Amino acid sequence: MDLSIWIVLIGTALIGICAALVGTFTFLQKKSLIGDAISHSILPGIVLAYMLSGQRTAWGLMLGAFCAGWFATQQISWLQWKTRLKSDTIVAATLSMFFAFGLALLSYIQGRPDDGQAGLGDFLFGKIAALDIRDLYLFLGISTVIIIAIFLRYRVMFSFAFNREFMISKGFSLRWNDFILNSMTILVVTMGVQAVGVVLMSALLIIPVLSARMLTCRLSQILLFSVLLGTFSSLLGSYISILGANIPTGPCIIIILSACAIIIALTVKLQSKRKSHGK
């Protein structure tokens, strides 16, 4: 196989693995919407980074994306602290605000005669074929950081998700826990938008874990199933997207992921019906 295909496949697998791992903990901590807010919010970061640097390098755009994601999470935390608004309202408002700003900036550079949008539109729905070897090195670095952080902290994050007050009373820092989870979400979203795009990225975080949750109630098995499902869908989706000319990678991956989730849901339902009939 061509080297570029290998790069795409390895890159996609890394995105699938990391999104499933981080998604499991955002789901358990009931922060799935935050992933959606972050993915929409990083669009202005990407476009601004491009406007400032004048070139489309993975490092530059990801730095911009990371900063924008970080600002969005800070805005959400600050509003939750200072206002009486419900957190879903705050998340929805932040998401739309940043995304609108991103779209406005994108249209602005699209209209510029000099260099066009340099393919930044790909970030909306994802285009994994654009991945090169330097991106892959960056992905490997980010994945290593995420996997090590989860290995070291999964028990704390898991316990926080189950019983926050107990953990605070024991002296664990809620801020530190939120900071680690938010940073991991921002990193994985920043990495994943190249394949899935900002619009659909949150699905890659949420659907694998919710499918796995239907199958089991053990954390280790949830992690395993969601990683398998996330990786499988990402690989198959991007492969189909590379073969078929006009389908963006993001929708391809998410359609496969959703189909798997529906099949799992129906199978589980059918089995529980059989069991109750058996009784």
Partner 1 sequence: MRKAIKIENLTVFYREMLVLDRISVTVNAGRITGIIGPNGSGKSTFLKGILGITPVKQGQVSFFGNSFEKFRSKIAYVPQRESIDWDFPITVSEVVEMGRIIPKKWWVRTTSADKEIVKETLEKVQLSEFSTRQIGQLSGGQQQRVFLARALAQEAELIIMDEPFVGIDMVSQEAILTIVCKLRDAGKTIVIVHHDLSVVARYFDDVILLNKKLIASGAQEDVLKPENIEKAYGMTFLLDKQ
Positions in the binding site for partner 1 (CB under 8 A): 28, 84, 152-153, 155-156, 158-159, 161-163, 165-173, 213, 216-219, 222
What is the nearest approach in angstroms of partner 1 to the Cβ of residue 56? 37
Measured from the CB atom, the residue of 81 and 246 that comes closer to partner 1 is 81
Nearer to partner 1, 163 or 271 (CB): 163
Minimum distance, C-beta of residue 102 to partner 1, in the bound complex (Å): 34
- HSE-CB at 82 with a 13 A cutoff on CA atoms is 7
State the burial class of residue 229 (Cβ atoms within 10 Å of its Cβ: 0-12, 13-18, 19+).
buried
Q: For the CB of residue 274, give the shortest distance to partner 1 in the complex, in Å.
A: 20
- Closer CB to partner 1, 56 or 164, in the complex: 164
220 or 246, CB closer to partner 1?
Answer: 220
Record the tokens describing residue 275, joined without a space.
């069991």
Helix (H) or strand (E) holding 187: helix 174-196
Q: Closest separation between CB of residue 162 and partner 1, Å?
A: 5
How would you class 146 by CB atoms within 10 Å of its CB: exposed for 0-12, middle for 13-18, buried for 19 or more? Answer: buried
What gap in Å lies between CA 91 and CA 94, rounded to an integer?
A: 5
CB of 80 to partner 1, least distance (A): 13
Quick one: 80 or 159, whose CB is closer to partner 1? 159
C-alpha distance from residue 74 to each of 146, 153, 182, 184, 188 (Å): 20, 22, 10, 14, 17
Instruction: Collapse the DSSP code of 4 into the 3-class scheme (helix H, G, I; strand E, B; otherwise coil) and give the result.
Output: helix
Any idea which residue has 């640097």 for tokens?
A: 53
CA gap 234, 240 in Å, rounded: 10
DSSP 8-state code for residue 55: S
CB closer to partner 1 out of 101 and 172: 172
User: Which C-beta is closer to partner 1: that of 15 or that of 180?
Assistant: 180
Evaluate whether 186 touches 38 at the Cβ level (below 8 Å). Answer: yes
Closest separation between CB of residue 215 and partner 1, Å? 11
Cα–Cα distances (Å) from 262 to 12, 189, 230, 256, 278, in that order, read: 22, 24, 14, 10, 24
Q: Could you tell me the smallest distance in angstroms from the CB atom of residue 202 to partner 1? A: 21
Structural Rg of the chain based on CA atoms? 19
